[in-house]
Structure 1
């Protein structure tokens, strides 16, 4: 649930980038950080765990609109991708308002994507949140690898695997080149704002 700061007249919303290890969550955040550097009032904080890390920063995007006269501050987080850091992932998910699920388009990552999405569903359930009700955007990352001759799944295959039941917005992307990174962010902010307006009324 978003945090309402009465003193600063701000609503703080928490958006989390979730997905399998090495899928591009951190690269997404690094791209956003570099693009919006002048609007970000904090440094990017990295909490290192063995072989993986959690990243976060917060910013006040322009022309995002207000909720009940309050400015909206967005906090972006990534979770460690590896299964062994599930306790950390669960902790980061506490108070989440919206999720971007970053799936790895490489053929060999098909199973990992599905396991990670199931894990998201289970961890949300701990906080009595439903994957079918929370603002959620799927990002099929690493589409650029196809040009390098690396086997990637078709968009249709990924939709069938990950979005067959959810029926949420999905985008093909390359966090490395920045393709669809900002549209992904804009989409999740828009969905989260709509959800928060309903909740806070």
Structure 2
């Protein structure tokens, strides 16, 4: 749930990347971290197992200051996909303002996708969030691998889905920003309808979206003008190609209030790796 701190003129939103194990949730955050200007993002913090699979969550804070003087923070989280971490996924999902569901395009992973989707719906309900009340975007990742759903199948899913659906090769950065943009646009509209974001805080949809996407590194920002289109009105359009992905950086040890909540509720001391 969005947090408002009037004393410090600060607004904090929470976006969670959810999906089955190894679908590319952490990869999405790593690429977003690399695309963003260092002055507009915090550290990408992770708690991983020895085999580099997310144990608790990854966290990437993105921030900007609005024209009206409010500091806006968008915290991007992932959840672990392994079945044994159900309680952790539920905790991380609590208070979310938007969710990106990362599905694995491989045919062999269809059941894992369906199980993860049902788990997400149930965890939302257990957190007191009606699934229909929260913005959700869907990304079908790993489109570069063999034995994946065809483009026609993805298009059929898109036509039947009320959520926006994107194809992606996250490891190359393809589809990563398009997915994030769609989710943030939906999240803004949802929050504006609930809290009159524009009226109370003087932050329009266009300013909100531009403030995030103009803070890409100079090289990527220049490419985005051609690849995603102009953001003058806050609505970039996909022209059919994507900027090349920079090298993925390492995460750092996690130190966050949510970590304490997770450890308290799961009885784990956790660990970190880079």
- With over 3 angstroms needed to count, the CA separation of the structure-2 counterparts of 1:24 and 1:79, relative to structure 1, is same
Contact (CA 8 Å) 1:39, 1:59: kept in 2 or not?
Answer: no
Distance in 1, Cα, partners of 2:141 & 2:191? 27
Instruction: Check if 1:116 corresponds to 2:111.
Output: no
Task: Show structure 2 runs of 5+ residues with no match.
Answer: 197-274
Name the SS of the counterpart of 2:42 in structure 1: coil
Tell me by how many angstroms 1:162 deviates.
Answer: 8.7
Q: For the Cα contact (< 8 Å) 2:33–2:41, is it kept in 1?
A: no
Of 136, 150, 153, the residue aligned with 1:154 is: 150
Shift of 1:42: 2.2
The TM-score, its normalising length taken from structure 2, stands at: 0.65
Structure 2 partner of 1:188? 183
How many residue pairs get aligned? The number is: 193
| C-alpha displacement of 1:136 | 0.5
Per-residue deviation at 1:156? Answer: 4.5
Q: Which residue number in structure 2 is paired with residue 43 of structure 1?
A: 43
Q: Distance in 1 between matches of 2:7 and 2:118?
A: 39
Question: Cα deviation per residue 1:81-107 (whole Å; 9 max; x = unaligned)?
Answer: 111101000010111000000000011
* Separation in structure 2 between the aligned mates of residue 162 and residue 85 of structure 1, nearest angstrom: 29
Distance 1:61 1:36 in 2: 12
Q: Which whole-Å CA distance do the structure 1 matches of 2:93 and 2:83 have between them?
A: 15
Larger radius of gyration: 2
Find the aligned partners of 2:116 and 2:39 in 1 and give their Cα distance.
Answer: 31
Give me the whole-angstrom Cα distance separating, in 2, the residues matched to 1:186 and 1:105.
21
Distance 2:139 2:101 in 1: 6
Determine the C-alpha separation between the residues in 2 that align with 1:131 and 1:113: 17
Counterpart for residue 17 of structure 1: 17
Tell me which residue corresponds to 2:242: none
Question: Residue 144 of structure 1: CA displacement?
Answer: 1.5
CA, structure 1 residues 181+137, in 2 after alignment: closer, same or farther (shift >3 Å)? Answer: same
Question: In 1, distance between residues paired with 2:43 and 2:82?
Answer: 24
Supply the distance in 2 between the matched residues of 1:79 and 1:34 (Cα, whole angstroms). Answer: 20
CA-CA distance at 1:128 after TM superposition:
1.9
Report the Cα distance in structure 1 between the residues aligned to 2:126 and 2:151, rounded to whole angstroms.
31
Q: What are the residue-to-residue correspondences of 1:1-201 with 2, within 5 Å?
A: 1-49=1-49, 52-53=53-54, 54-60=57-63, 70-145=70-145, 150-158=146-154, 164=160, 166-201=161-196
Are residues 183 and 162 of structure 1, via their aligned partners in 2, closer, same or farther at CA, if it must alter by over 3 Å?
closer
Kept after mapping to 1: 8 A contact 2:5/2:11:
yes
Inter-partner Cα distance in structure 2 for 1:137 and 1:176: 19
5+ residue gaps in structure 1?
Answer: none
Provide TM-score, normalisation by structure 1.
0.87
2: CA distance between counterparts of 1:93 and 1:142?
24
Whether contact under 8 Å (1:18, 1:99) holds in the other structure is yes
